C-alpha cells in the first residue's frame, strides 16, 4: 500500500490514533487539543459512551475528518455502557442492568452473531446520523478479535467494512505476534485473505506503549520507551495506538490507569517527540488517507 499512497516501499509510515474518544469529557478535550496541534492523525470514537454522544451532538464533530468507530461490546469495570441498538433487547450482550458485560471471554463465548451485527452497525449508523463520515473500524479492548477463546466477530466486521467502504484495523503482522497461538494464527491469516479478496484495506502493524502496568508511571521512563519504539519502527504502515486524556475525577472513577493516559497526552505535546518523527523520517498519514484509497478502488 506504500506506493499507492505515494511512498517508497522502504518508507516507515505512521498513523497516530487516539483511542477511546468519548470515554470521558477530559479525553475529548485532550484529543481535540492534540488535533489542533497536529500531534495525532486519527481517533476512534466509542459511540456507547455518554461523552461520545455529547461530542457527536456538538457542532465541532461534524467538521472532524479523522474519526473512526471504536466498535464497543464491553463495559468498563467501573463504567457500565448500554447498547446503541434500541429496537429490541440484545439478550446475549447485556446483563440484568441492560449493560454490556465486562468479561470479554464471556462475550466471545456467548454473544449471538446477529445481535453483534445489529449493535455494531447501530454504532456506525449513529455516528453517520450525526454527520460523521467514519474513517475506519477498530475494536475497543479487542472485543471482536477472539483473543481470549478463539471465537471472533471478524466476519461481522468485514461485512460492515465492505458495506460502508471502510478499512479495518487488523494489522497483517498480527500473524507473527508471540501472544497468539497456531489456531489463532491460521484464523487471522484466513481473515486477512478474505479482506484482500473483498478490497478491504489493512495496515501492516500496530504498536503501543506498555499500558496500565503501573500506577506509579514515570514520565521520563515512558518517554524513553516511546523514543525506542519509534526508532525501531518497521517499513510499511503502522498504527501507534495511544489513549491520551486529561486527568479528571470522571477518568479516575472509571480506570486506575489515569496516570498513563495523562502521560501519553503530555508525550504527544512534547517538542522532543514531535521532532523525533522528523529526525527518523517517519511519514505521518491518517486512516482517512487509507479509507479514501480504498473507496477509489471500490
Contact 22, 16 (CB under 8 A): no
Q: What interhelical angle do 154-164 and 113-129 show, nearest 10?
A: 30
Helix, strand, coil % in the chain, rounded to nearest 5: 45, 15, 40
Side-chain half-sphere CA neighbours of 216 within 13 A? 0
What 3-state class would DSSP assign to 18?
strand
How many residues comprise the chain? 298
Task: Look at residue 185 in the predicted model and tell me its pLDDT.
Answer: 97
Whole-angstrom Cα Rg for the chain? 18
Kind of pairing, strands 67-71 and 137-139?
parallel
Cell digits of residue 152: 471472533
**Mean pLDDT within 206-220:** 80
Band (281; pLDDT cuts 50, 70, 90): very high
| Spatial separation of the C-alpha atoms in residues 243 and 18, rounded to whole Å | 6
Q: Tell me what pLDDT residue 6 has.
A: 93
φ, ψ (nearest 5 deg) of residue 92: -80, -10
| From 5-9, 113-117, 209-213, the region with the lowest mean pLDDT | 209-213
pTM recorded for the entire structure: 0.96
Phi, psi of 242 (to 5 degrees): -130, 160
- 120-172: pLDDT as tens digits: 999 999 999 999 999 999 999 999 999 999 999 999 999 999 999 999 999 99
The answer, yes or no, to whether residue 4 has pLDDT greater than 80, is yes
Q: What are phi and psi of 262, to 5 degrees?
A: -70, -35
Q: Which pLDDT score is estimated for 17?
A: 98
Do 148 and 104 meet the contact criterion of CB atoms below 8 Å apart? Answer: yes
Q: Hey, what domains does the chain have and what are their CATH numbers?
A: 3-297 (3.20.20.370)
Amino acid at each position: 500500500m506504500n506506493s499507492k499512497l505515494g511512498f517508497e516501499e522502504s518508507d516507515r509510515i505512521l498513523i497516530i490514533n487516539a483511542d477511546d474518544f468519548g470515554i470521558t469529557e477530559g479525553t475529548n478535550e485532550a484529543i481535540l487539543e492534540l488535533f489542533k496541534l497536529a500531534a495525532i492523525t486519527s481517533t476512534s470514537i466509542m459511540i456507547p459512551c455518554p461523552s461520545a454522544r455529547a461530542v457527536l451532538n456538538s457542532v465541532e464533530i461534524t467538521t472532524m475528518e479523522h474519526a473512526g468507530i471504536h466498535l464497543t461490546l464491553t463495559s468498563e469495570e467501573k463504567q457500565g455502557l448500554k447498547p446503541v441498538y434500541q429496537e429490541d433487547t440484545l439478550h446475549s450482550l447485556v446483563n440484568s442492568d441492560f449493560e454490556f458485560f465486562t468479561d470479554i471471554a464471556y462475550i466471545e463465548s456467548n454473544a449471538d452473531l446477529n445481535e453483534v451485527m445489529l449493535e455494531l452497525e447501530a454504532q456506525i449508523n449513529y455516528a453517520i446520523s450525526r454527520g460523521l463520515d467514519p474513517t475506519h473500524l477498530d475494536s475497543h479492548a479487542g472485543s471482536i478479535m477472539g483473543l481470549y477463546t478463539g471465537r471472533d466477530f471478524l466476519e461481522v466486521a468485514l461485512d460492515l467494512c465492505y458495506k460502508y467502504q471502510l478499512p479495518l484495523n487488523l494489522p497483517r503482522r498480527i500473524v507473527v505476534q508471540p501472544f497468539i497461538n497456531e489456531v489463532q494464527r491460521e484464523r487471522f491469516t484466513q481473515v486477512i485473505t478474505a479482506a484482500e479478496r473483498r478490497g478491504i484495506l489493512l495496515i501492516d502493524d500496530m504498536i503501543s506503549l506498555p499500558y496500565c502496568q503501573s500506577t506509579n508511571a514515570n514520565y521520563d521512563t515512558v518517554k524513553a520507551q516511546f523514543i525506542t519504539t519509534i526508532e525501531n519502527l518497521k517499513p510499511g504502515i503502522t498504527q501507534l495506538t495511544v489513549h491520551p486524556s486529561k486527568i479528571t475525577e470522571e477518568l479516575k472513577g472509571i480506570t486506575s490507569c489515569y496516570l498513563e493516559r495523562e502521560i501519553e497526552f503530555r508525550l504527544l505535546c512534547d517538542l522532543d517527540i514531535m521532532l523525533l518523527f522528523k529526525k527518523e523520517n517517519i511519514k505521518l498519514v491518517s486512516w482517512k488517507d487509507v479509507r479514501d484509497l480504498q473507496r477509489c478502488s471500490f
